[in-house]
Amino acid sequence: MKNFACSVVFSTLLLFSCGANYSGPEKQYDYSYNNPSDTNDKINGASIVASRGPMDDAVFRQLSSLHVNFICLLPFAYVREGNPTVHYNQFFQWWGEKPEGIASCIKMAKAYNMRVMVKPQLWISDGMYTGHLKFANDEEWKIFEESYSEYLFTMLNVADSMDADWFCLGTELEPFVKERGLFWSSLIDSARKHFSGKLTYAENWDNYESFPHWNKLDAIGINAYFPLSDSLTPSVAELENAWQPHFSKMKSFSEKLNKSVMFTEYGYRSIDYAARTPWESYSDEKVNMIAQKNAYEAFFHTFWNEPWVAGGFFWKWFDANTHSSVPLEKDYSPQEKPAAEVIKKWYGIK
């Protein structure tokens, strides 16, 4: 996801800033928990923002009420542009990004009969897009490879020890994958030996066909921030029509590789022009709940009944300790927004 929003700003001295004091619309949503007996194999997933500190199970109760059966955990690491060292499990990081937080969240998810994917991601200083991360020479690349491997396998070992179901080996790292092919092939082989679950990789919507190692993974991971419409509030029908060329391309690619597509991220901000550039985290548009709702409806109607679609993880959900870096009323999270009801409807279909 380009211009990816993160709640932590990486610098020599880290300053944490909370976003809005948004109380949501007047409608109150029912987050009561019903123990799921769902045997549906579709990944009705949610990405959970790493919590600042130890969290209780409230998030899992809330997500269960939306029929979520799969969560994605995001243990971020940090890189300075031009410096090949990956920093993780640091004193300044939030609890939910560290091994102890990941292990605790997996345990809570399992208690709610939810499956889990662990998806390590990099955050580059000054918000640089990970798809632009490159190094000047082979020596720097080798340092980065070693550092990235140490970070990745630390999280993979936590995931395996807690019986996580899926592990994602990276997110939107096009130059790294393209220029260091032998490293990636070896990385996948090593991950197979150390993780008993399934493996994928999350590639950006405009580059998934270029990833050369899908044949070694269990699903085609796509961050689905496709541009669909320049309309302020596009209708569901308009968006469904706009999806068709992307739908056909992904379906053909899935059939060619004989692998399912997993939407490793999908979602929309609740703003005007929500479907124009969905990857833009900070564009200053007005609040528009209907644009977000329509975008979700069109997405589900287009993909969720397709057998070649494994499912996916909407972006994203906050716990009570954590706040968005933009006002929640304009953020991706569907919490206490009409889009949550759309998710509940589609995730509830057996």
pLDDT tens digits for range 270-329: 999 999 999 999 888 999 999 999 999 999 999 999 999 999 999 999 998 887 776 889
Specify the 3-state DSSP secondary structure of 191. Answer: helix
The answer to whether the CB of 207 falls within 8 A of the CB of 170 is no
Q: What is the pLDDT of residue 127?
A: 80
Q: What is the pLDDT of residue 12?
A: 33
Each residue's pLDDT expressed in tens, for the chain with a length of 350 residues: 654 434 333 333 333 333 333 233 333 333 333 333 333 589 999 999 999 999 999 999 999 999 999 999 999 999 998 899 999 999 999 999 999 999 999 999 999 999 999 999 999 987 889 999 999 999 999 999 999 999 999 999 999 999 999 999 999 999 999 999 999 999 999 999 999 999 999 999 999 999 999 999 999 999 999 999 999 999 999 999 999 999 999 999 999 999 999 999 999 999 999 999 999 998 889 999 999 999 999 999 999 999 999 999 999 999 988 877 768 899 999 999 999 999 999 999 98
Query: Domain 43-347 - what CATH class?
Result: alpha beta
Q: What is the pLDDT of residue 40?
A: 55
Query: Nearest Cα to 330, choosing from 268, 265, 255, 277?
Result: 268
For residues 91 and 93, give the distance between their C-alpha atoms in angstroms, rounded to a whole number: 6
Q: What is the pLDDT of residue 145?
A: 98
Helix axes 289-303, 338-347, angle to 10 degrees: 10
Q: What is the pLDDT of residue 200?
A: 99
Alpha carbons within 13 angstroms on the beta-carbon side of residue 76 total 25
Joined tokens for residue 299: 């997405």
Domain edges within the chain: 43-347
For residues 101 and 18, give the distance between their C-alpha atoms in angstroms, rounded to a whole number: 20
Burial 234-273 (b: 16+ CB within 10 A, else e): bebebbbebbeebbeebeebbeeeebbbbbbbbbbbbbbb
Specify the 3-state DSSP secondary structure of 161. Answer: helix
Q: What's the pTM?
A: 0.89
